[in-house]
Structure 1
Amino acid sequence: MCTDGCKERRTGDFCNYYNLAYDSSVLINPNSSYPGSLANDGSKTSCSKTNGPTVTFQVDLKEESIVTGLHILFGELTTKVGSHTLYASNTSNNFKTGTMVYEGQFLPTRINVRAVFRYLTYVPPVHGKSSVLEVCEIGIIGCPPSRYGPVCNKLCPGNCNGPCDLATGSCAFGCLNRWTGDKCEQECSFGQFGKNCSEFCHGCISQMCDHVNGICDNSTACKPGYVYDKYCNTSCSDGLYGSNCLHTCSPFCLHVPCDRRTGECIGGCIRGLHGFNCMQVSINTKKSDDDEVTTWIGIFIGGVLLGILITVVVCFVIRKKLPKKQSKDNVPKKTQSHDQQHYDDVGIENVTSYQDLRKDNLRKDTGANEYDQINATYVNQ
């Protein structure tokens, strides 16, 4: 066991691990005459010290890295009773927004973790109104993003999208655009592009596009079923099909949308029609429909005849039950005389009114002319 510490970029009891913390920035809060840099110099005899009501110790790796373990050596003055917490983050040095990777009533010398982070923050327990922190050495086991192997002496493949696996060197977070494979050593297959070659040039003519950005080699046209643009990756809206989506699906498709490329009614046609776009009349269905119409016509005519028969019977029965009318000779003469007198009175009154109106019209030259014109028109007609 290495009693005094390790050489550059090594950590662990036997100094057999690569130490990411060696080239990192180490801060202790609140600041003191024993700065954080004393905790990552490789020596176990020089320690970083501070105390206060809120104490933190933070390591900035300067870039995201794969970490497999921590090795921390505390001094005798460190507050040990209470909750010890470790936070990791990729985006902020504020530990409150990070992810907790450890919490316990004591902090062991070696902690196994498997995470990718840039910032590591240790928050010690508070005893009474303050906490005392003394860190003599911090080791973060892992490799820089571009290296792998037991002592990080091998280079990761150049097309990895981030750090590679520390043991095998495979690209743990996929490949850069255009590349694929475990170590991102292959070209994308024909018709594919993007990260891990996960995108497809479906709309490009002959599926020819740039392996990196996906722009079609022929950006002036796209396959039927796609809107014309440089990527040809926007499908026709429902109800449209063909080149640049300029055609409308048949209104007789049973289920919409039709095939965006050809316009075929892939879900079938409404009753009575068939064909590629449901524009042909089905003969069998037409005969069936004619038979159905004939049946309904027969039912209608039968209903009308039955209604007429019922009406005749009802009228006959009612006529039989009505009393006979009195003959004209049986009407009292007094009544006849009274009716005749009433008619005469009405006739006289009407004649008088008509004559008065005629006289009034004749008094006016204009009125008389209008009357004559109206009368002449009537005669001509």
Structure 2
Amino acid sequence: MAIVGRMMSYSGKTKKRLLIIDKTFCLENTLPPSFPLLHCCSRPECRGISHKRSLNLSRKNGTVVSQSSTYQVALPVRRAIDGNKGQTYEECSHTALGQSIAWFQVDLGGEYSLKSVTIYYRNETNWPPYRFRQFYLDVSNGSAGSTITLTSQRKRCYKDNITAPATPPAVIDIPCKETARYVIVETTYDAPEDNILKETGPVLEICEIEVYGCSVGRYGESCSPCQGCSTCDIISGACPCSDTCVNAACNPSNGYCTEGCITEYWGNTCKSQCSQHCIGNMCEQGNGTCTNDCAEFRYGYTCEHQCSPQCSPRTCDRVTGACSDCNAGYHGLFCNITCSPYCKSGTCDAHNGHCIGGCKANWTGNLCDKCGVYFFGPNCSNACSVYCKGNLCNNVTGSCTDGCEIGYYKDKCKWTCNPGCKNGCNKNSGSCDNGCIDGKYGNECYDVCSVGCISNCERMTGNCMCKRGWQGEKCRECSPTFYGPSCEEECSPHCYNGTCYVNNGSCIDGCTRDYTGDKCTQGLYETSPEDHGTAIGAGVGTSIFVVIVVVVGVVTLRLRRKRNDSSKAQKDERKESKITYEKERTNANRQDHSLPGKDHSLPDSHVHLGKRPENLETQEIGLYEIMDSGNEDSKTYENDANAKSVTPVTNTSNDASEENGNVYLVINESQLNSSHYDELHVQN
């Protein structure tokens, strides 16, 4: 192994012999530990060259660097861990001038086993590292910026003692085998060269800092796990002897104490302390079990547990912690379970928790932790539905366990089946699974069979056999020849086509010949019963008045003949322009084509409108002839300019006259000329 040495000049006056390792050697070899301080590649041509060693913790994720102050924004602290090992002004971090102290800190984020620290300080032509004199390197678990961290809490790995005009090396590798979180470079040195420049105060100009080491419990170049101890030498992996080993004697390969532990300690390395609850702080060195008994109210192998405060008395088994008895209201092995709040007496057996004196109302069970058979809910305050079979329900949900009484359904049997269901309904859906009672139909038997059904109707459709007078699949309509709310009344046999309206029995197509009225029950020439009675009475006196009747008849006949002769000429004139109107067959329900409230049908007859006499004045009357006719199929009429729609008189007894078997109605002139009637109707 060739090590090349030469003389180097510092500050131009003092020369110091330093070992400079060949560039190739730095690339291929690890620095030999026999050299406490070797400076490799300090020359500009060697920058960026690194030698093999442990992990550089400065560049890991989570590492944070800081400094006491910053000279310029362009020279931030992060320059010291950017991986650039250049040592010119612009490649370095720089604390401010005029301060009483300057420090630079690497925070690793947690404790690490450290091996060494390498610092690259500013070094340029005519600017040697004179400000680097008398710096010191500390490690600590407290931050340099914390006001509560004392210098005495630090461990010092290095202190530079060089005085002016000499300068320390610009690249320095410092061994530091410690376990710590913070690495601190600090100085209070005020360089005399700065006084010449009229600049005062300590200054740090760190260009790059590398902290080498491993996680705690690892060692070596590849950070392998320590063998046989939790911590070991960072380089060799040897376990350190604990000062709690008797005579500080241990196996160097694993750190196990060879002569045992001092009092109050146990374990292979004697680093574990006996429990403070062991009487006399004495314990087995192999497992830490208390040698003597435990302190009061304690139990466990190392007396680490506390007896339950509900033990009575306040003692328990040394190993298990079991209580011999419990305070009132508690039970269980450790008296840590409260008696049920529903125990009637508030107390229970200390071993099994059974309530003493039974349970409060609505609760049951040995522990009084369940609802009674007829109650449910979190407080057992809800009663099962009275419609649950046997009043039994789930003591949590209230669902009926054995189903519902007939007539109710759903899980709590609170829904009522339709009363039309036969023998109740489906427990879940409410449908009538057993069919419907007589007179009901449908899935849930809500629908009612028609009163027109002879007997019960079909379950799903409601169809049935109909009674007399009813029709349709469900027998909900009257037959055409029946009417009334119950379709029990038959239409008049004198209704034309035999049909009538279901609401009142009025004939739909009018009456047959010789009958009239809404229901066609009145004959045109029928004599009333009162007239028959009168006729019988009159017959008794016929013999008395026979002479008078004969005389009156003769006189009446003569007068009628005289009147007929005088009107014959007028009658012939009217017949020349008569128009034959066929009577429209109507009934009581077609009142929209006739005058309100009147029956204007005149079966099997024709109306003849005679020509208005020329001698009638505006208010005088005209005569209109009604004649029998057997021609029911006639649909024609003769057109006449004088034909008008007319309104019948309201009193035919006063305004109608009979001549030669013909009946005449008296019509006003204003009625004759009226144009707002569409048809001619004549009142019987």
Same fold (TM over 0.5): no
Select the structure of larger CA radius of gyration: 2
Instruction: Name which structure has the greater RCO, CA cutoff 8 Å, separation 6+.
Output: 1
More helix by share: 1
- The TM-score normalised by the length of structure 1 is 0.43
Q: TM-score, normalised by structure 2?
A: 0.26
